[in-house]
Every structure is written in structure tokens, then in C-alpha cells.
Amino acid sequence: MALLAITFTLIWTLFEHFMGYNTNRHDIGQFTRLVPAFVFYYLVFRAVWLQRKQDGGALIFARGLKIGAATAVLYGFLAAIWFAVYAEIINPKYASTLRTFELSKLESVHAGPEQIASKLKELELSSGGSFLSYFLLFVFMTFFGCAVALVAAFLLRRKKAW
């Protein structure tokens, strides 16, 4: 499932790029960038569900969590690499155009210097193009994927019927 999720993410990101959502249409991109995450969370849940199906309708909580967590870790790693390639090679202006867009949003609502500084720091950590920003992407994607795996394993656990 992780490979399916990363394939979708690659295709979706390139679609967004060619539509301008990650270049000059951040007003749309701010919403469309969420789609791969939701598809990823769905596929983590589906991985646990498929494991239960493969095990004949039975699923031990630990096994479900293991499958979901493995999916999350693999996807988190591949997504961090992909977004590093995208932001550093394919669209090196991504961080600067996103920063300009976010600043204009803040200025339009007359944000104070503290709010602006906070938002700029957040942007630097989330999409600044540093090793830390990609590492944090890996950590957060893995963490939220594992949270979905935890819920899925709990909801889908079932003892084998004799």
C-alpha cells in the first residue's frame, strides 16, 4: 500500500505542478496539497483491512498495527525523498513562492509582527528546503500514519472463529 500511496503522491504532485498549484496558484494548492495525505491515511487503513482479509477474517491487534506502521514508515521515507527531489530539483522556487503567498495572506488580514514571524518560522520548518524540513516531513507522515494504523488495528481486530 505504501508504494500505491507514493505513486499517487508522485502523480498528484506533478498534476498540481503542471496546473500551477505549487507555483503561481497557491490559493488552490493550499487545499489540493492535502489530497495525498488523505489518500495515504486511507491506504494505511486499507492495508490493515487487507491483512485481516488475508488472515481469513481474523486480525490480532499487534499484527494490524505492525502492517499499518510498516506502511506508514515506508511511505514517510519515500515521501520525504520525493518532496526533497520535487522542491530542490523540479520546482526550486516552491519555497519562495509559497512564502510570498503566505505573506500576502497575512498582510491582507493585517497580521502583527509576531504572527508573521511565527508563520515564517513554521514555513521554514515545513517547506524550507533544509534537511530538517524533510526529516520533519518524514516524522509527521510516519506519526500520523501510525496513528491511523493504531485506530485501524483496534477497529478491525477480530479473533479467529472456531
Sequence-distant (6+) residues with CB within 8 A of 28 are: 19, 21
For 105-150, write each residue's pLDDT tens digit.
887 887 788 888 787 777 777 776 788 889 999 999 999 999 999 9
The confidence score (pLDDT) of residue 20 equals 92
For 48-93, write each residue's pLDDT tens digit.
999 999 998 899 999 999 999 999 999 999 999 999 999 889 989 8
Task: Please give the Cα distance from 25 to 32 (Å, whole number).
Answer: 11
Enter the C-alpha cell of residue 17.
505542478
DSSP labels for the chain?
-HHHHHHHHHHHHHHHHHHTTTTT-HHHHHHHTTHHHHHHHHHHHHHHHHHHHHTTT-B-HHHHHHHHHHHHHHHHHHHHHHHHHIIIII-TTHHHHHHHHHHHHHHHTT--HHHHHHHHHHHHHHHSSSHHHHHHHHHHHHHHHHHHHHHHHHHH-BPPP-
For 11-39, write each residue's pLDDT tens digit.
999 999 999 998 889 889 889 999 999 99
Task: Please give the Cα distance from 110 to 130 (Å, whole number).
Answer: 29
What is the chain's mean pLDDT, rounded?
A: 90
The confidence score (pLDDT) of residue 37 equals 96
Is residue 161 pLDDT above 70, yes or no?
no
According to the per-residue pLDDT averaged within each range, which of 43-47, 97-101, 128-132 is highest?
43-47
**For residue 24, which of 89, 94, 85, 103 has the smallest C-alpha distance?**
94
The confidence score (pLDDT) of residue 124 equals 76
